[in-house]
Amino acid sequence: MPSRPALPLAEQIAAAQDWWREAGVDLAFADEPQGWLAEPTTGEQAPSPVSAAGIAPAEPEAPRIGDDPANWPQDLAAFHRWWLEEPSLDRGGTHPRVAPRGPQGAALAILVPMPEAEDGEMLLLGAQGRLVASMAQAMGFQPEAIYLASALPRHMALPDWAGMARDGLGAVLLHHLALAAPERLIVLGRDVSPLLGHDPTQSPPAFSELAIQGRKLPLMTSFSPARLLEHPRLRRGLWQRWLDWIEGDMC
């Protein structure tokens, strides 16, 4: 049987490497233990520490919403101006900031998550505003007699509600409600309730009382105006909840 010609040395080495690689061995191993944690002996140079220059600096924390509470406005008209101008209230966006509207001490206040995308000079001038106005009239209120406010000063596509709660938005809203001093409050939007102290892991109760500066404000919750517009069933539920609320006061 004729003998096969010997492969060149380079091809022999490559073939051996291919064989071990097919076997799943692609690193070289040594049997002798290595003192990885040992101090370098004389003559050996310790590796240089990693420079911090290549590490990106941490982003600065966002300022607390509302800044120093000691500087917050103490009357409602001044609060409306501050709501439009205070830099720390702004969490970005291209839509204009919109002030609340309505009288101080109103029989009913309605708090929504944010202005509508088309709002400009006045809060809730679009479809959501028409829904809220119709709702107020059905409840026995002229739309201009209710106090209408939003949890955010401008419309935002994807608000970070949890982040803004951590940054103090809830305290600003409580101060706002204390200045507005309504007799009743309806909160429309499940994202708003945690800002007023409700546990975000639980569904908000239909009825509760909000403690504000020594007085208790009767509170009713429901879905946001956007959800109510989309689902007639939710609107029916809101109306029944309102009837239960006022009936409870009459008992």
Domain boundaries, the chain: 69-250
pLDDT at 42 over 70: no
Residue 251: CB atoms within 10 Å: 4
Mean pLDDT calculated for residue range 232-251: 89
Grade residue 73 by pLDDT with cuts at 50, 70 and 90.
Answer: very high
> What's the pLDDT score for residue 46?
59
> What's the pLDDT score for residue 173?
98
pLDDT at 118 over 90: yes
Q: Confirm if 73 and 111 have CB atoms less than 8 A apart.
A: no
Which is nearest to 188 in space by CA: 225, 156, 162? Answer: 225
Which is nearest to 116 in space by CA: 86, 150, 76? Answer: 150
Measured between alpha carbons, how far is 149 from 109 in angstroms, rounded to an integer?
Answer: 8
Note the pTM of the prediction, 2 decimals: 0.75
Nearest 10 degrees: Cα torsion 95, 132, 145, 109: -80
> What's the pLDDT score for residue 95?
94
pLDDT at 216 over 60: yes
pLDDT digits (tens, 9 = 90+) for 95-107: 999 999 999 999 9
Grade residue 49 by pLDDT with cuts at 50, 70 and 90.
Answer: low
The reply to whether CATH 3.40.50.300 applies to domain 69-250 is no
Grade residue 250 by pLDDT with cuts at 50, 70 and 90.
Answer: low
Percent of the chain clearing pLDDT 70 (strictly above):
75
Mean pLDDT of the chain: 86
pLDDT at 39 over 70: no
Mean pLDDT calculated for residue range 165-178: 96
Q: Which residue is listed with tokens 């103090």?
A: 168
Question: In sequence order, what are the beta bridge partners of 149?
Answer: 111
Grade residue 13 by pLDDT with cuts at 50, 70 and 90.
Answer: confident
> What's the pLDDT score for residue 124?
96
> What's the pLDDT score for residue 204?
85
pLDDT at 4 over 90: no
> What's the pLDDT score for residue 7?
62
Question: In sequence order, what are the beta bridge partners of 202?
Answer: none
Q: Would the CA dihedral through 142, 145, 146, 147 be positive or negative?
A: positive
Q: Confirm if 182 and 217 have CB atoms less than 8 A apart.
A: yes
Which is nearest to 93 in space by CA: 155, 31, 137? Answer: 155
Residue 29 structure tokens: 């191993």
Q: Confirm if 62 and 167 have CB atoms less than 8 A apart.
A: yes
Grade residue 19 by pLDDT with cuts at 50, 70 and 90.
Answer: low
Measured between alpha carbons, how far is 177 from 203 in angstroms, rounded to an integer?
Answer: 22
Nearest 10 degrees: Cα torsion 227, 229, 234, 237: 130
